[in-house]
Each structure stands twice: as C-alpha cells, then as structure tokens.
C-alpha cells in the first residue's frame, strides 16, 4: 500500500493492511479522466498535428467558403478546429497526422492530400 500511496501521491494516508485492494474511488478517479478525454476528442471535428517537415495547410469551412486557417505549420504544431463541415488541404500529406472526431485517419503519402470533415 505504501508503494500505491507513493505512486498516487497520497502520502498523508496511512498504509492499509498488506494485500488490501484499493478502494473503488481510487479506481474511478484513475479511469474517469481518460474516458472524458476520449469523449472530448471524439467531439472535436478536426485536429491536425505536424509530425514531419513543415507543410502548407489550408482549412476551409465548407458551407460558407470562409478560410479557417491558412499557412505553413511547423514540425510539432497542432491545430484544433471545433466547427464543421471542413475541407483540409495540405501540401505534404506525409507530414501530418489528421484526427477527425477522435479517429486517427489513414496516413497519406508525400504530395498534396485532402480530407473532408462532415458536420455531425
């Protein structure tokens, strides 16, 4: 139990008897943030992460034609778009990871690549 307390940061609690199972509240607390994070990412229409060389990215709101974002994103940059429908066009499809409503999209090769994000 001391090891459990050391890992969870509950230093002020008394160690329980050897072999005692952790309480249900500890299990719930450790699982809930992951579930809420997954649910939150599933609600986000588009997430673009640059994992390769910098690339030009254009995101357009499909129904209005408005440009939501345009420009070169650097390696490590991440952009989140919370409206839909969207059209995403990148100059180098192999440079980006695209997540649509929480689902990682199939990797694309080098060269121009496009994705469409439906409205839910």
- The pLDDT assigned to 10 comes to 46
Q: Say which range, 10-19, 32-41, 42-51, 90-99, has the weakest mean pLDDT.
A: 10-19
On the CB side of 109, how many CA atoms lie within 13 Å of its CA?
Answer: 0
pLDDT band for position 38 (cuts 50, 70, 90): low
Considering only CA atoms, which of 65, 104, 69, 61 is closest in space to residue 90? 69
Say whether pLDDT at 101 is over 90: yes
The percentage of the chain sitting over the pLDDT mark of 70, rounded to a whole number, equals: 66
CA distances from 9 to 4, 5, 15 (A): 8, 6, 12
Average pLDDT, the chain: 80
Say whether pLDDT at 35 is over 80: no
Say whether pLDDT at 29 is over 60: no
Q: What is the mean pLDDT of residues 56-66?
A: 96
């Amino acid at each position: 139990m001391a090891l459990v307390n050391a890992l969870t940061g509950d230093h002020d609690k008394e160690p329980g008897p050897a072999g005692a199972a952790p309480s249900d509240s500890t299990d719930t607390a450790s699982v809930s943030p992951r579930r809420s994070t997954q649910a939150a990412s599933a609600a986000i229409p588009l997430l673009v992460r640059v994992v390769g060389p910098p690339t030009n990215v254009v995101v357009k709101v499909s129904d209005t034609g408005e440009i939501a974002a345009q420009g070169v994103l650097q390696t490590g940059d991440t952009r989140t778009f919370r409206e839909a429908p969207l059209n995403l066009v990148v100059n180098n499809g192999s440079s980006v990871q695209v997540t649509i409503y929480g689902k990682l999209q199939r990797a694309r090769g080098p060269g121009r690549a496009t994705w469409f994000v439906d409205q839910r």
